[in-house]
């Protein structure tokens, strides 16, 4: 079920480094450019790709990812097209894990069973659905696991030891630690606090722990990578897309390289982090 994810984290560990997990929004700034970006991510140094499923009410996302979702929706991106993007990516890459990240409403509208079957057939490896707590596991988490998709849960600075067992119970693939309280891209984490939090999580699970929210630069990535199994970067990459667009919000010749250049720098930072620890 989690073969690609497991293999990628094991590869990173064998190279004495954290894995770089990159988030981009499907269909941003348009479907064709988005596919081009996703295809280029592994070569730039991405180990795992989180692919955002655009939604009109993304409550956990900061302004950058909200804007990316709106650009994608304006360009005609749908959940069906997002799965088409995964399928097209898989035609040339059978090794890089893809995790679909988003909210439950579009999946519910699509139909849970149909979505899980189609996502698996397209080549997705896992799901992160931020608005379904463990108490709702029967809604999507348990069916996803049965369909062969990892259900990756988020732990936060407010997830105490009493709450952790419920959070971790059906989690697969890796645990996503949210380094700050708030929305994506809102602040820079306190790296000492994050290191302690990761150490605490590792006492409760054998799964890799990846840290995200607020990681924007290679220096941030290096600091997180010193203690975590993975570093997640999203808002900074989405900002790179935005800053490359023309005055009408359309892709330019610089759009793909704006993302891949930053990913390469982040990958170098991740590799420095463990070496410096």
Task: List, for residues 13-50, the tens digit of each pLDDT value.
Answer: 999 999 999 999 999 999 999 999 999 999 999 999 99
User: What whole-number distance in Å separates Cα of residue 80 and Cα of residue 94?
Assistant: 20
Asked if the model's pLDDT at residue 152 lies above 80, the reply is yes
Which pLDDT band holds residue 187 (cuts at 50, 70, 90)? Answer: low
Asked if the model's pLDDT at residue 9 lies above 80, the reply is yes
Query: Where do the DSSP E strands lie in 57-106?
Result: 98-102
User: What whole-number distance in Å separates Cα of residue 266 and Cα of residue 90?
Assistant: 24
Catalytic residue numbers read 50, 61
CB 24 within 8 A of CB 46: no
The pTM for the full model equals: 0.95
Which pLDDT band holds residue 257 (cuts at 50, 70, 90)? Answer: very high
Q: What are phi and psi of 233, to 5 degrees?
A: -125, 130
Which residue do the tokens 């991405």 mark?
46
User: What whole-number distance in Å separates Cα of residue 51 and Cα of residue 38?
Assistant: 9
Q: Supply the mean pLDDT for the chain.
A: 93
Tell me the domains of the chain and their CATH numbers.
3-276 (3.20.20.70)
Asked if the model's pLDDT at residue 199 lies above 70, the reply is yes
């Amino acid at each position: 079920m989690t073969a690609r994810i497991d293999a990628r984290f094991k590869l990173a560990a064998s190279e004495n480094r954290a894995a770089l997990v990159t988030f981009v929004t499907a269909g941003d700034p348009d479907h064709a450019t988005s596919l081009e970006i996703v295809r280029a991510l592994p070569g730039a140094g991405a180990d795992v790709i989180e692919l955002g499923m655009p939604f009109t009410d993304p409550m956990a996302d900061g302004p950058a990812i909200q804007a990316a979702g709106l650009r994608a929706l304006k360009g005609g991106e749908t959940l069906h097209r997002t799965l088409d993007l995964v399928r097209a990516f898989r035609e040339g890459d059978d090794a890089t894990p893809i995790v679909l990240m988003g909210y439950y409403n579009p999946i519910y509208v699509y139909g849970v069973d149909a979505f899980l079957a189609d996502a698996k057939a397209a080549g997705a490896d896992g799901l992160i659905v931020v608005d379904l707590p463990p108490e709702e596991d029967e809604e999507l988490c348990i069916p996803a696991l049965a369909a062969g998709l990892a259900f990756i849960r988020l732990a936060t600075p407010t997830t105490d030891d009493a709450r952790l067992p419920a959070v971790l119970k059906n989690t697969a693939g890796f645990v996503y630690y949210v380094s700050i309280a708030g929305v994506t891209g809102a602040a820079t984490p306190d790296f000492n606090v994050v290191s302690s939090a990761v150490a605490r999580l590792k006492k409760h699970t054998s799964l890799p722990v990846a840290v995200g929210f607020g990681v924007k630069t290679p220096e941030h990535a290096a600091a997180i990578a010193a203690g975590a199994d993975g570093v997640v970067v999203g808002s900074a990459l989405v900002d790179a897309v935005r800053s490359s667009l023309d005055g009408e919000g359309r892709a330019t010749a610089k759009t793909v390289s704006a993302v891949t250049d930053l990913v390469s720098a982040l990958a170098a930072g991740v590799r420095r982090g463990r070496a410096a620890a």
